[in-house]
């Protein structure tokens, strides 16, 4: 164990002890129950932040700085995929030319999801292969970037593939630096950082992510949970195809089991309504029930799903034909008897025209047989789409359950026992958003995708993952709940300074002795793990983007559980022309800042008039000042006018593609306990 890791672990232990001590004391001793409506939300928010801090500490516990991998074996086959939809041709070709110049032998593909003839001509003119979706995708769900890549996986053959977004220009040695990791036969994915060349040093939009693309990824790597971030990653095709096949088989098998289980219940209910002397029908239902049992046994024994379902459907169809024939025979006998009774005669053309209406009503309400139950059973099993007729491809290796494909895909790979690695070296240069609206759209999309995965495939209950891997994935998902805690951290000082209502029982010496060391040690942990990398901007946006985080949770919840469409705009591909500061995009934050300022003035006035005590007001004024310092980044972001290249340096294209990418440029595991003072 190196000295840095030892120091990190000591600080993690101290942070955990001090944090648990403080929050436990808050719950047991210091909650002001007379003002429960603000006191309870505050202690809940602090508890949330403590969990966040503990998850961050766990991530850092195995901080892993990998050695240089061995050189790659010669003769590996590699495909380089450049995913594009409607980005400018020049931008895509800039990346494609750089990809073509990668030194390790490979094939370069432009995956043109826009199917543009001009894109094809530009690529093929320079010997770069162009690929768009097959005709099978016509009229089918497209699944955005995931669908584009899934199509390419079934149309290419390389043992490995490198994924690049249209703006991510690779360095020539990107494969030489990463393929060596795959000497480990269980290595599925190697992720490299995403770094943006059109970001000024002060990074007003928080585009660079030195904490995530560094200590956080290194920490997750130590637990074999390094994330796939959508671009700049090399992946083993075998792992992805195994994932696609296993997901297909698992989902279809689950559907068949559910259909058969429901079918058995339907048959049981139908049998209760059959007369004891109706031997034909009872035997027919018993026959189908035996087929259900046999089908379930065959599937559990590993029989081919297609064969089992086909055989079952054929048997049910045979029984259904027998029951229909029996019903027709009974119907004919009854009609003949009715005709004789009514004196109509045997002319079938006169039967329904001349039968008394009361007699017809009697026939309509008669229980002929459980044919409806048999038809229901048949429909249940036929509804299990073994051929995936509702999709362009039966096999979908990259996950399609969210608007971002990366996290769910990587989590599923880890669940199958594959490994991942994080290579901490910038090997591609990308482009970041250059205006506030584009950045907000981008962050909302990433957050929505993460929360969709949490609601659909919560890692805490996923099979195949280790406990640590579950927590590593859950930490990122948990971090997006910070928006709700931020509301409380803004409201608490406002309530005290304006109304004099304290959410804690007293601002005693014991309170400060427990809180201050926890906050200091927590910040010390960030300083040590950052190892010189700037982390302040990430901490600012953790609080300052609280409306985005709240919107991501609520919209993803509505999408998953209520079937609502995700209402977000497609990220613009070109720099927006300056129209003055974009204050309208950050109205919630501006209102929050205004409330904090008004509260600070009110607090000073209340002290001056003897209505408030000095220590409590001073503490909350410091809290307000800290929150305003955090929110100051919003002012910079709203006024930002884009990147100005240094004279003499090639201009950076005015485009950033993120409709087809989902890098975690900030992992909300940057702790919110810094804003959690009570």
Distance (Å, rounded) from C-alpha 237 to C-alpha 235? Answer: 6
DSSP string, 133-159: --GGGTTS---HHHHHHHHHHTT---S
What pLDDT shows up at residue 364? Answer: 38
Contact 572, 658 (CB under 8 A): no
Q: Which domains does the chain have, with CATH numbers?
A: 78-245+391-432 (3.90.550.10), 274-369 (no CATH)
Per-residue pLDDT at 118 exceeds 70: yes
Distance (Å, rounded) from C-alpha 14 to C-alpha 616? Answer: 27
Residues 221-265 have pLDDT tens digits of 999 999 999 999 999 999 999 999 988 878 777 777 777 777 777
Distance (Å, rounded) from C-alpha 488 to C-alpha 157? Answer: 53
Highest mean pLDDT among 327-336, 504-513, 658-667: 504-513
Residues 576-633 have pLDDT tens digits of 665 678 899 999 999 999 999 999 999 999 999 999 999 999 999 999 999 999 999 9
The torsion angles phi and psi of 657, rounded to 5 degrees, stand at -90, 125
Measure Cα distances from 200 to 62, 64, 192, 205 in Å: 32, 29, 21, 10
Q: What is the CA radius of gyration of the chain?
A: 32
Distance (Å, rounded) from C-alpha 457 to C-alpha 477? Answer: 11
Mean pLDDT of 354-367: 44
Distance (Å, rounded) from C-alpha 452 to C-alpha 674? Answer: 28
Start-to-end C-alpha separation, the chain: 37
Distance (Å, rounded) from C-alpha 450 to C-alpha 458? Answer: 10
Per-residue pLDDT at 272 exceeds 50: yes
Please state, rounded to an integer, the average pLDDT across all residues of the chain.
86
CA dihedral 139, 140, 146, 151 (to 10 degrees): -80
Distance (Å, rounded) from C-alpha 655 to C-alpha 653? Answer: 6
Q: Which two tokens stand for residue 196?
A: 């943006």
What pLDDT shows up at residue 495? Answer: 97
Q: What is the greatest pairwise CA distance in the chain?
A: 108
Of 528 and 319, more confident: 528
Q: Could you tell me which residues come within 8 angstroms of residue 425 by beta carbon, excluding any fewer than 6 positions away?
A: 177, 192, 193
Distance (Å, rounded) from C-alpha 198 to C-alpha 433? Answer: 9
Contact 112, 152 (CB under 8 A): no
SS3 415: helix
Look at 93-102, 232-241, 617-626, 634-643 and tell me which has the smallest mean pLDDT: 634-643
Measure Cα distances from 415 to 473, 634, 654 in Å: 12, 39, 40
């Amino acid at each position: 164990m190196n000295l840095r890791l030892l120091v990190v672990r000591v600080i993690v232990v101290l942070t955990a002890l001090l944090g648990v001590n403080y929050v436990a004391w808050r719950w047991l001793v210091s909650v002001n129950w007379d003002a429960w409506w603000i006191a309870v939300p505050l202690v809940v928010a602090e508890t949330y932040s403590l969990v966040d801090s503990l998850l961050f500490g766990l991530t850092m516990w195995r901080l892993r700085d990998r050695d240089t991998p061995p050189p790659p074996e010669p003769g590996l086959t590699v495909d380089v995929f450049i995913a594009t939809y409607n980005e400018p041709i020049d931008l895509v070709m800039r990346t494609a030319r750089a990809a073509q110049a990668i030194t390790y032998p490979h094939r370069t593909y432009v995956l043109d999801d826009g199917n543009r003839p001009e894109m094809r001509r530009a690529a093929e003119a320079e010997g770069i292969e162009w690929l768009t979706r097959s005709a099978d995708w016509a009229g089918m769900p497209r699944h955005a970037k995931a669908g584009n890549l899934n199509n390419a996986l079934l149309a290419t053959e390389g043992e490995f593939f490198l994924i690049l977004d249209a703006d991510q220009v690779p360095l020539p040695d990107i494969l030489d630096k990463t393929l060596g990791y795959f000497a480990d036969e269980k290595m599925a994915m190697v992720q490299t950082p995403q770094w943006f060349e059109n970001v000024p040093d002060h990074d007003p939009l928080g585009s660079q992510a030195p904490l995530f693309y560094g200590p956080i990824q290194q920490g997750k790597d130590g637990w074999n949970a390094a994330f796939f971030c959508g671009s700049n990653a090399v992946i083993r095709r075998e792992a992805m195809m195994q994932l696609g096949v296993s997901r297909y088989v698992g989902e279809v098998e689950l559907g068949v089991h559910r259909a058969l289980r429901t079918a058995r219940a339907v048959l049981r209910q139908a049998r209760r309504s059959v007369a004891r002397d109706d031997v034909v029908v009872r035997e027919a239902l018993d026959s189908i029930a035996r087929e259900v049992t046999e089908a379930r046994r065959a599937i559990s024994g590993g029989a081919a799903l297609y064969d089992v379902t086909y055989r079952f459907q054929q048997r049910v169809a045979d029984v259904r034909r027998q029951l229909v024939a029996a019903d027709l025979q009974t119907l004919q006998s009854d009609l003949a008897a009715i005709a004789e009774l009514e004196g109509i005669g045997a002319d079938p053309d006169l039967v329904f025209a001349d039968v008394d209406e009361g007699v017809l009503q009697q026939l309509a309400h008669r229980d002929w047989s459980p044919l409806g139950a048999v038809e229901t059973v048949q429909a249940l099993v036929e509804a299990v789409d073994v051929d995936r007729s509702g999709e362009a491809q039966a096999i979908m290796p990259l996950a399609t359950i969210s608007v971002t494909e990366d996290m769910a895909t990587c989590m599923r790979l880890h669940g199958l026992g594959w490994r991942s690695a994080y290579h901490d070296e910038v090997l591609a240069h990308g482009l970041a958003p250059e205006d506030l609206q584009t950045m907000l759209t981008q962050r909302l999309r990433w957050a929505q995708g993460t929360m969709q995965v949490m609601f659909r495939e919560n890692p805490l209950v996923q099979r195949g993952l280790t406990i640590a891997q579950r927590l590593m994935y859950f930490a990122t998902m948990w971090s997006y709940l910070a928006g709700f805690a931020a509301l409380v951290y803004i409201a608490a000082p406002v309530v005290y300074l304006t109304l004099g209502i304290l959410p804690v029982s007293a601002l005693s010496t014991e309170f400060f002795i427990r809180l201050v060391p926890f906050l200091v040690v927590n910040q010390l942990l960030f300083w040590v793990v950052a190892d010189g990398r700037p982390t302040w901007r990430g901490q600012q946006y953790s609080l300052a983007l609280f409306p985005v985080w709240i919107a991501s949770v609520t919209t993803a919840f509505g999408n998953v559980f209520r079937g609502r469409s995700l209402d977000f705009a497609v990220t613009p591909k070109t720099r927006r022309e300056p129209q003055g500061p974009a204050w309208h995009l950050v109205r919630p934050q501006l209102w929050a800042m205004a409330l904090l300022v008004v509260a600070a003035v009110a607090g000073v006035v209340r002290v001056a008039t003897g209505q408030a005590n000095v220590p409590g007001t001073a503490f909350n004024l410091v809290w307000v000042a800290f929150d305003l310092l955090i929110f100051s980044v919003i002012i910079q972001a709203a006024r930002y006018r884009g990147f100005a290249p240094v004279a003499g340096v090639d201009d950076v294209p005015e485009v950033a593609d993120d409709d087809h990418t989902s890098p975690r440029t900030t992992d909300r595991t940057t702790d919110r306990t810094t804003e959690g003072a009570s």
